[in-house]
Structure formats: C-alpha cells, structure tokens
Amino acid sequence: MKKSFTSAAAIALCTLGALAPFSSASAQEQVLNLYSARHYSTDEALYANFTKATGIKINRVDADDAGILQRLKAEGAASPADVILLVDAARLWKAEVDGLFAPVKSKLLENAIPATLRAKPTPEGTAWFGYSTRARVVVYDKARVKPADVDTYEELGDPKNKGLVCTRSGSHPYNLSLFGAVTEHIGAPAAEKWLSGMVANMARAPKGGDTDQIKAVASGECGIALTNTYYLARLMRSTTPEDKAVMDKVGIMFPNQSSWGTHVNIAGGAVAKNAKNPANAVKFLEYLAGKEAQDYFANGNNEWPTAKGVQLTNPVLKAISGDGFKAETIPTSVVGMNQVKVQQMLDRVGYK
C-alpha cells in the first residue's frame, strides 16, 4: 500500500483517515508501516525483496522529510508509523532531538554502520542509522570555467565567479545542510559573507532541482552549480542523446579536497517512537544494512553504501569519484544546530 501527501494542511485533515488502511491487516498478518522520504522508484524492489524474505507486508506513505515530521507530531501516540526513512542528516538529527524516534539496540547495526554515520548511542540505544550517502559537488561549464576556480565551496562566493552561479533554493534541505557544515568550518561571520557573495554571483534567481542546475550549466545559462552526486549519475547512466550531450559539457569537482573535504549528506532510518510493530521495524533496519539492500542503494539510486565490508559495484559512481575522495567528517548534530542560524543568514543576504 502506498500513499502520498505533501502539504501540512493535507496532513492535518487526513491524519485520522490515514490510520484506517494501516489498521486493516488481520491479527495473523505480519506488517510494517513505513513513512518514507525516499521518492525513488528503484526502491520498490528493495521493499518487495524484504517482504519476500520475511513475509512482512510493507504499508508505505511517501512525503518529503518535513511532511513526515509534521505528520508524526500531529499523530502523536496514535501514529501507525513503525519505520521512518529520511534523506537529510540534519532532519534525522532534528527528529531525534524532538523525540520522534525510539532508540534501537542491535549489535548487527552497531557492527555494520560506522559510528560517524549513525546517531550517538545512549544507554537506551541508537536513535537512527545512516544507510547511504551522497556528496554535494560542484558542476561547471568546461568551456568557460577553470577547475582551479571551483575547487572549494568558498570560491562560489568569490567575485571571480560573478554571473556564473546557479543553485536551487537556498532553503532546500540539501543546501541548508551544506551551508550549516560550511558555517561550522569557517564561522558564522565568514559564512554570511560567503553566502552574500554567492547571491552577488548568481546568473539567475535560485529555482528548480539539482538536475535543472546541471542542465542550466550545459546550456550556458549558468557556469557553475551545486548538485548531489546521484543526479549526475542518473544523467551519466541515461541512454538519451540529450543527457549524454549534457554530461559532455560539464565538469565535476569534489570541493575542498585540500582542507576539510567534500560535504556528504546521509539518508537513514529509525524506528518510530510509537511503533506498533517494533520487532518488525528493527528487522527492517537490519535488512537495510545487509549486502542486498546496500547494493540497491548503490546501483538503484547511485548512492554510496555505508555498511562495512560492502564493496561499491556501481561503475558510474566509480567514474565520478575516480580513486575516491576526501569526505568531511563533521558531526551531524552541529550541521543540524546551525540550520536556524543559516536560514537567518539567507534571509539577511537575500538568498531565496
């Protein structure tokens, strides 16, 4: 079962009605109620294989991170959710702080997921686990921009790149997490100056998604843009001449390799605080750390798997990152805590 919802108003109006489908399973039927921000069609096989392996039926509701967290708060103890999947580390942290997750004790998960890619454990357990990562990289017009002019995030705010920069909304979670990380690295005053410089360097007002930014660079509308790596991988794996032409025109830069490393975001999962099927929820989280699921993350949606011992087999990801790249290791908590501060900066400098 799959449902979708987007607006807060729809969430509030539909909350009680949404409980009924989740309550329709017989007492003998094993179920898992999943709230997922993973809007990737390739995940369908992931869920189907879990059901095939365990006999546990998945009821799923899809929304973005913010919509899911709003719904959980509105439903409270009556929420049918067993597992929450989110695609932004700062949102995972915020949900943990807001008490929306139930701590999990699992040796399998503790051994499989590196400590830097999961919540800090407490005596009660660990609130969430990261199952895949994606790097936020710079793409640039190879005909107009020198790689040396975009090899750090800070250079996106340098006057030398005036009139070249394009991004999606500054308030999008992917950018908020990047900006929160940069703020931690260089301090708030320097970060606000940097964001102001990015606004001054814009080729056009922020709009669209990451794929739109890549195509705008290829078309010449922009010279430089930010994107998550899996959007690039999708274009690289495409067989259409148009997508191949786009990728022929853009270069890819993993910024800050000589300093703190490229910003990496986490997609992860947790057991909902009021889970009605907690044993099934833990079983699902453990399944996501297994090789089969990790391969789906890598080959289905072009994300880097996080579980120890899982070898990357996606040739496109290998082509994008070459021999590998230096990723930042900043704590998720500081990225999350910086986001209110970052949003205030964006408002002050006029970054839409």
pLDDT digits (tens, 9 = 90+) for 107-138: 999 999 999 899 999 999 999 999 999 999 99
Rounded to the nearest integer, the mean pLDDT of the chain is: 92
Using N-to-C axis directions, what is the helix angle for 229-237 and 210-219, rounded to 10°?
Answer: 60
CATH of the domain spanning 134-262+326-349: 3.40.190.10
- Distance in angstroms (rounded) separating the CA atoms of residues 198 and 176: 14
Beta bridge partners of 125: 122
**Average pLDDT for residues 272-293, to the nearest whole number?**
97
pLDDT digits (tens, 9 = 90+) for 89-99: 999 999 999 99
**Average pLDDT for residues 154-180, to the nearest whole number?**
97
Pairing of strands 165-166, 304-305: unpaired
Claim: this prediction has a pTM higher than 0.85: yes
DSSP label at residue 76:
G
Residue 288 scores a pLDDT above 80 = yes
Residue 5 scores a pLDDT above 50 = no
Residue 11 scores a pLDDT above 90 = no
DSSP 264-327: EEEEEEEEETT-S-HHHHHHHHHHHTSHHHHHHHHHHS--EE-STTPPP--HHHHHHHTT---B
Residue 9 scores a pLDDT above 70 = no
Residue 279 scores a pLDDT above 90 = yes
Please indicate whether the domains covering 2-132+265-314 and 134-262+326-349 agree at the CATH topology level: yes
* Amino acid symbol at 49: N
pLDDT value, residue 332: 87
Top CATH class, 2-132+265-314: alpha beta
3-state secondary structure string, 260-273? CCECEEEEEEEEEC
Residue 12 scores a pLDDT above 70 = no
Q: Which helix (H) or strand (E) holds 337?
A: helix 332-337
pLDDT value, residue 43: 87
| Tokens matching residue 135 | 């790097």
pLDDT value, residue 143: 97
Residue 86 scores a pLDDT above 90 = yes
pLDDT digits (tens, 9 = 90+) for 14-25: 433 344 345 444
Q: Give residue limits of the domains in the chain.
A: 2-132+265-314, 134-262+326-349
| Tokens matching residue 62 | 């899809």
